[in-house]
Amino acid sequence: MSVIIDTDPGIDDAIAILYALGNPDLNVVALTTVAGNIGLSVTTQNAGRICALAQVDVPVHAGAAAPLGKEARPETGIHGKEGLGGVAFPDPIYPVASDDAVAAMIQILTEHPPHSVDLFCLGPLTNLAMLLEQAPDTAHRIRRVIAMGGAVDEPGNVGPKSEFNIVHDPHAAAAVFAAGLSLTLIPLDATRQLRANMDYIDALRDADCAASIASADLIAAYFAATNGAESRPLHDPCVPLFAKHSNMFRIEPRDLDVDIATGALVAGPHRIDVAMGLDADRLRAALLSGLSY
């Protein structure tokens, strides 16, 4: 399975990327970056640092520096100024491949057979919306989009019904929802069920691999502003975990749209597959196994 990971690393992005890079069934052909959790220069640098830690040569393409039609609003309070919670990562080994993520997507999708490349969206959907605007036929060569974002029945995390990835660029999310792509959305309704405790961190450290130790440190940083029993939700790892273990998620079709003013998901005309639940115990075990390389 060939995969483009569109990302704004980000603590939980980093864990998701490390899991995907170590999975032999996921052929990650590129990382495309977007401003979201932190500014574009930092997310792009972090993507290269994650590849360096995993010791892989995956091209990194810088993408959108700001959302469509509004200003960026980073989340440094959660992820830290450098985006990775203060966890030490090596410097990138390779230079950034390009500063045009959309052009890179177009090239990859054109060079691969139709419907043979998945797109994992771990951040705001700006790059995908720009791809749809610039090359809609090429965008429809994507096999499926798996995106973390939104809140359906759960409360939001940046507003009463708003989740960060969607509210950061609601115009982009609305365009993606309307595009008719094969889209699976993994909202807070599912991701809030996947958390880690200190025993899990110890198990990651006991695996004694670069990816598992780094992930343990990242999750430890995710305990800030909690009661200490469990980490913040492991939102973004749900995306590659769904790609590998869709049977561990409860998928429901929902008719949705995006309220541009608030970034909230509302009832609308677009039928989307939505993960409304997951098997947390089995997914934690799968994540631990996938990070032990």
Q: Are 97 and 63 in contact (CB under 8 A)?
A: no
- Cβ atoms of 92 and 50 within 8 Å: the answer is no
Quick one: pLDDT at residue 64? 97
Question: Among 263, 118, 247, 252, which Cα is nearest to 189's?
Answer: 252
Rg (CA), the chain: 17
Residue 76, pLDDT score: 47
Residue 112 annotated as catalytic: no
pLDDT at 71: 62
Query: Could you say which of 79, 235, 245, 270 is catalytic?
Result: 235
Q: What is the pLDDT of residue 289?
A: 98
- Give the residue carrying structure tokens 């561990």: 248
What is the pLDDT, as a whole number, of residue 79?
45
Instruction: Record the tokens describing residue 110, joined without a space.
Output: 């054109």
Give per-residue burial for 198-211: e unless 16+ CB within 10 Å, then b: eebbebbeebeebb
Give the SS3 label for residue 130.
helix
Bond from prior residue into 10 cis (ω within 30 degrees of 0): yes
Q: From CA 50, how far away is CA 229, in angstroms rounded?
A: 27
pLDDT tens over the chain, length 293 residues: 899 999 999 999 999 999 999 999 999 999 999 998 789 999 999 999 999 999 999 999 999 999 997 665 655 444 455 779 899 999 999 999 999 999 999 999 999 999 999 999 999 999 999 999 999 999 999 999 999 999 999 999 998 999 999 999 999 999 999 999 999 999 999 999 999 999 999 999 999 999 999 999 999 988 865 667 788 899 999 999 999 999 999 999 999 999 999 999 999 999 999 999 999 999 999 999 999 99
Question: CA 80, CA 225: separation in Å to the nearest integer?
Answer: 13
Task: Say what the pTM is.
Answer: 0.95
Helix (H, G, I), strand (E, B), or coil: what is residue 79?
Answer: helix
Alpha-carbon distances of 270 from 120, 133, 138, rounded to whole Å: 20, 18, 21
Quick one: pLDDT at residue 229?
76
Please report the pLDDT score of residue 74 as a whole number.
54
State the Cα–Cα distance between residues 130 and 112, nearest whole angstrom.
20
